[in-house]
Amino acid sequence: MTVDSNAAARTPRKRTAAKKSAKKSPGAGAPDLVQLLSPEGRRVEDPAHAEYAAFVEDITADELRGLYRDMVLTRRFDAEATSLQRQGELGLWASLLGQEAAQIGSGRATRDDDYVFPTYREHGVAWCRGVDPTNLLGMFRGVNNGGWDPNSNNFHLYTIVIGSQTLHATGYAMGVAKDGADSAVIAYFGDGASSQGDVAESFTFSAVYNAPVVFFCQNNQWAISEPTEKQTRVPLYQRAQGYGFPGVRVDGNDVLACLAVTKWALERARRGEGPTLVEAFTYRMGAHTTSDDPSKYRADEEREAWEAKDPILRLRAYLESETDTDEGFFAELEAESEALGLRVREVVRAMPDPDRMAIFENAYADGHSLVDEERAQFAAYQASFSDAEGGN
Amino acid sequence: MAVQKLPLAKAINESLRVALDTDPKVLIMGEDVGKLGGVFRVTDGLQKDFGEDRVIDTPLAESGIVGTAIGLALRGYRPVVEIQFDGFVFPAYDQIVTQLAKMHARALGKIKLPVVVRIPYGGGIGAVEHHSESPEALFAHVAGLKVVSPSNSSDAYWMMQQAIQSDDPVIFFEPKRRYWDKGEVDTEAIPGPLHGARTVREGTDLTLVAYGPMVKVCLEVAAAAQEEGKSLEVLDLRSMSPIDFDAVQKSVEKTRRLVVVHEAPVFLGTGAEIAARITERCFYHLEAPVLRVGGYHVPYPPARLEDEYLPGLDRVLDAVDRSLAY
């Protein structure tokens, strides 16, 4: 539902004290949650959400299978990366497990000429933008701090300081508007980042300049160990109201709803109607990163409750019951999935450490005399060893 | 008319005007930069002539100003943003240090961040708290940034042109107490390199290195010392990152004595770096330790006491005497 002046009054969300057990979450029929596919994989027809549903009403079985394939391959890639971290090939990995629908739905809503500003967990969005998954692993292996060309896929570098990229997205969108282009910009962030001042400032700037930007907040319920209750006293999507633009809460485990709502928001931006906040209500099934231990701060039952809402299972149920998808499709995808895992494994294991002189590259675009001096000193220092060893 | 006599603020204004005129991608952004022309009138008349789309009054949020400027730069624009006063830059410090400075390297050189951050800085105008600070070392310490400060109208004009043309982010410190000082600007001159120091007075007995507002003080010191028969060389550093150590070295090899002067606190300041480097480069030439004159390790004092805090003629002369006494 789009926020209007009465929405908050109509939909007061009870703030029950955080219980040890599974957290309450909006389900089918919750008035403030856009859901088009139920956890059981059935189409939800809610006249209140017809405006969003219109964006996917003509979706074909092939397109649905495409979304399914995206989610399965993204999950497979993610699992491979987690394994590679356990094997010592990566220093760290931030898993997106459980957030596939939010990322694939929103990512597939973008056009080639749109620009995406991710945080550091948007592996599914990167996939949709055509960034090769192995390119994402360089920074987690420690061979670079980013490494892909943002302009090749209009997919900016991962941003580790949460919130910063929402301002970059807003500025970029201001530039799009200045250019008279009808592209849109989408900024990803999370429930934790919603507390950052930069996110508040990006809401202010985008509203004041009517910038064509969509703020896509994946509320995965946990900012490392802190539940959303530590970030906000109102549902996050309602924050938009105070800035004068719409906020929508969508079922983040429903790829169809995420696709529809994001398309709707991007279209608003293209039409010159300014920013939108989309809160994708989802769940971080795994740890924050491979360095994290969720058993210290959350109950297993909570995760189990969310497993029943798995984004991939629900689309599979729909494909099996409502489309002509046969077993062959799933079998082929399984094989493709394993091939992807193998390729990722091989590429990462073969990924060389950069040349040590790379430290001095790209600190500046136009050069800097001190960097030049230090590069020469470092090279001379290194060369002093080869001299001692008589060459090599 | 190629040569004009302009106050320093007006020289920057003219420079911005030329940049807006010649490159449609140049934007001016900041608080009150539009209709008001900035609190120091540095952007006076620019919005009237170039429109609200190019000279942009922003919300009062410094991180937002720099963060959106980064986004605009990624889109191909060349934003020149104004931070209203030195002490107001810190809400934007995260965006400057964490994003602006590092994004080019993070992208392995595939994107450029041609953003100029203008900061009126320094004391001497009797202002309230947070309006008189000199935080240049806090930026010069950060790889990825370039940091410059003009001391006169001509440099203000040309260094602004060069900063805007730079593909690296430049923090442009404007000596606010010199905004009204007039100097000749030759708009058809061929400027020297942005990051090169300049000898503004030749001498043989001791080198004074300064930049921004302190260059004028050092020239007064040199004139006073001349009356006592001491010949001081004055170097206008102009750039705090990179620093033209070669120019300082050349001067010190001649004079054998060095005093560095800045308004910023001495502790871990620009002078500390110059002292260390010059000691390393000129160890056998030096007749005295490198001395520094600057602010104390205290918060900037209330205006009635700022003359005690800021280096002035007498404090610099005292350091000159101490150096010459070795």
CA-nearest residue to A172 within chain B is B71
Tell me how far apart the alpha carbons of residues A214 and A207 are, in angstroms, rounded to a whole number.
11
- Indicate whether B259 belongs to any domain: yes
The CATH number assigned to the domain holding B142 equals 3.40.50.970
Average pLDDT, stretch B303-320?
A: 98
Average pLDDT of chain A to the nearest whole number:
92
Query: Are residue B212 and residue B317 in the same domain, yes or no?
Result: yes
Q: In this complex, how many residue pairs, one in chain A and one in chain B, have their CB atoms less than 8 Å apart?
A: 141
Average pLDDT, stretch A185-208?
A: 98
> In 3D, which of A227, A238, A214, A216 has the Cα closest to residue A283?
A227
Average pLDDT, stretch B304-323?
A: 98
Measure B168 CA to nearest chain A CA, in Å.
6
Which band of pLDDT confidence, cut at 50, 70 and 90, is reported for residue A206? very high
Query: Are residue B84 and residue B211 in the same domain, yes or no?
Result: no
A155 interfacial to chain B (CB closer than 8 Å): no
Which band of pLDDT confidence, cut at 50, 70 and 90, is reported for residue B175? very high
Q: What is the ipTM of this complex?
A: 0.97
Neighboring chain B residues of A167 at a CB cutoff of 8 Å: 63-64, 66-68, 70-71, 95
Q: Which of A5-19, B99-113, B136-150, B235-249 is predicted least confidently?
A: A5-19
Neighboring chain B residues of A377 at a CB cutoff of 8 Å: none
Which band of pLDDT confidence, cut at 50, 70 and 90, is reported for residue B2? confident
Interface contact flag, A174 B68, Cβ < 8 Å: yes
- Indicate whether B192 belongs to any domain: no
Which band of pLDDT confidence, cut at 50, 70 and 90, is reported for residue A181? very high
pLDDT of amino acid B140? 98
Query: Are residue B209 and residue B150 in the same domain, yes or no?
Result: no
What amino acid positions of B are annotated as catalytic residues? Answer: 131
pLDDT of amino acid A147? 78
**B292 pLDDT higher than 50:** yes
Tell me how far apart the alpha carbons of residues B193 and B197 are, in angstroms, rounded to a whole number.
9
Please name the member of B59, B102, B143 whose beta carbon is closest to the beta carbon of A205: B59
Neighboring chain A residues of B143 at a CB cutoff of 8 Å: 363, 371
Q: How far is CA B240 from CA B101, B109, B148, B270, in A?
A: 15, 23, 6, 7
Please name the member of A178, A201, A363 whose beta carbon is closest to the beta carbon of B61: A201
**Contacts with A, B 187-246, CB within 8 Å:** 195, 241-245
The secondary structure of residue A26, as a DSSP letter, is -
pLDDT of amino acid A388? 57
Q: Mutate which of B26, B56, B90, B106 to disrupt the A interface (most A C-beta within 10 Å)?
A: B106
**B11 pLDDT higher than 90:** yes
**A2 pLDDT higher than 60:** no
Average pLDDT, stretch B123-139?
A: 97
The pTM assigned to this predicted structure is: 0.94
Which band of pLDDT confidence, cut at 50, 70 and 90, is reported for residue A387? low
Q: Which of A1-5, A323-327, B95-99, B204-208 is predicted least confidently?
A: A1-5
Coil, strand or helix: which one is A163? coil
Domain boundary, last residue among B162, B186, B210: B186
Query: Are residue B136 and residue B208 in the same domain, yes or no?
Result: no
Interface contact flag, A169 B58, Cβ < 8 Å: no
pLDDT (tens digit per residue) in A242-298 = 999 999 999 999 999 999 999 999 999 999 999 999 999 999 999 999 999 999 999
- DSSP secondary structure string, B129-166? TTSS---HHHHHTSTT-EEE---SHHHHHHHHHHHHH-
CA-nearest residue to A179 within chain B is B75
Domain boundary, last residue among B160, B186, B212: B186
Query: Are residue B310 and residue B205 in the same domain, yes or no?
Result: yes
What amino acid positions of A are annotated as catalytic residues? Answer: 284, 288, 297
Average pLDDT, stretch A135-156?
A: 95
Query: Are residue B125 and residue B14 in the same domain, yes or no?
Result: yes
Please name the member of A149, A170, A369 whose beta carbon is closest to the beta carbon of B242: A369
CA-nearest residue to B113 within chain A is A365
Interface contact flag, A365 B112, Cβ < 8 Å: yes
Query: Are residue B32 and residue B91 in the same domain, yes or no?
Result: yes
Tell me how far apart the alpha carbons of residues B133 and B146 are, in angstroms, rounded to a whole number.
19
**Contacts with A, B 17-56, CB within 8 Å:** 53
> In 3D, which of B41, B84, B48, B50 has the Cα closest to residue B66?
B84
- Indicate whether B240 belongs to any domain: yes
A154 interfacial to chain B (CB closer than 8 Å): no
Neighboring chain B residues of A159 at a CB cutoff of 8 Å: 99
pLDDT of amino acid B109? 96
- Indicate whether B193 belongs to any domain: no
pLDDT (tens digit per residue) in A299-348 = 999 999 999 999 999 999 999 999 999 999 999 999 999 999 999 999 99
**A30 pLDDT higher than 70:** no
A371 interfacial to chain B (CB closer than 8 Å): yes
Query: Are residue B269 and residue B221 in the same domain, yes or no?
Result: yes
pLDDT of amino acid B45? 98
Interface contact flag, B244 A369, Cβ < 8 Å: yes
Neighboring chain A residues of B53 at a CB cutoff of 8 Å: 178
Strand partners, B78: B26
Average pLDDT, stretch A73-83?
A: 98
Q: Give residue for tokens 């790889």.
A: B143
Measure B259 CA to nearest chain A CA, in Å.
22
**A353 pLDDT higher than 50:** yes
Q: Which residue has the higher pLDDT, A392 or B8?
A: B8
Interface contact flag, B94 A147, Cβ < 8 Å: no
**B128 pLDDT higher than 60:** yes
- Indicate whether B318 belongs to any domain: yes
Average pLDDT, stretch A164-177?
A: 98
Burial A162-194 (b: 16+ CB within 10 A, else e): bbbbbbbbbbbbbbbbbeeebbbbbbbbbbbbb
Neighboring chain B residues of A166 at a CB cutoff of 8 Å: 67
Measure A359 CA to nearest chain B CA, in Å.
10
Average pLDDT, stretch A66-79?
A: 98
Instruction: Give the pairing of strands B146-148 and B258-265.
Output: unpaired
Q: Which amino acid is it at A61?
A: A
**Domain count of the fold of chain B:** 2
- Indicate whether B126 belongs to any domain: yes
Query: Are residue B173 and residue B224 in the same domain, yes or no?
Result: no
**A7 pLDDT higher than 50:** no
Query: Are residue B154 and residue B267 in the same domain, yes or no?
Result: no
Measure B239 CA to nearest chain A CA, in Å.
11
For A69, half-sphere exposure in the C-beta direction (CA atoms, 13 angstrom radius) is 17
Instruction: Report the interhelical angle of A61-86 vs A100-109 (nearest 10°).
Output: 130
Domain coverage including residue B283:
198-324
Neighboring chain B residues of A364 at a CB cutoff of 8 Å: 104, 144, 146, 168
**Contacts with A, B 265-324, CB within 8 Å:** none
A366 interfacial to chain B (CB closer than 8 Å): yes
Interface contact flag, B95 A167, Cβ < 8 Å: yes
Q: Mutate which of B75, B93, B166 to disrupt the A interface (most A C-beta within 10 Å)?
A: B75
Residue B161, number of CB atoms within 10 A of its CB: 19
Tell me how far apart the alpha carbons of residues A257 and A251 are, in angstroms, rounded to a whole number.
7
pLDDT of amino acid A31? 65
Q: Which of A8-12, A53-57, B176-180, B264-268 is predicted least confidently?
A: A8-12
Measure B41 CA to nearest chain A CA, in Å.
24
Which band of pLDDT confidence, cut at 50, 70 and 90, is reported for residue A386? confident
pLDDT (tens digit per residue) in B56-96 = 999 999 999 999 999 999 999 999 999 999 999 999 999 99
- Indicate whether B191 belongs to any domain: no
Query: Are residue B211 and residue B180 in the same domain, yes or no?
Result: no
The CATH number assigned to the domain holding B289 equals 3.40.50.920
Query: Are residue B180 and residue B260 in the same domain, yes or no?
Result: no
Domain boundary, last residue among B186, B215, B238: B186
Interface contact flag, A161 B99, Cβ < 8 Å: yes
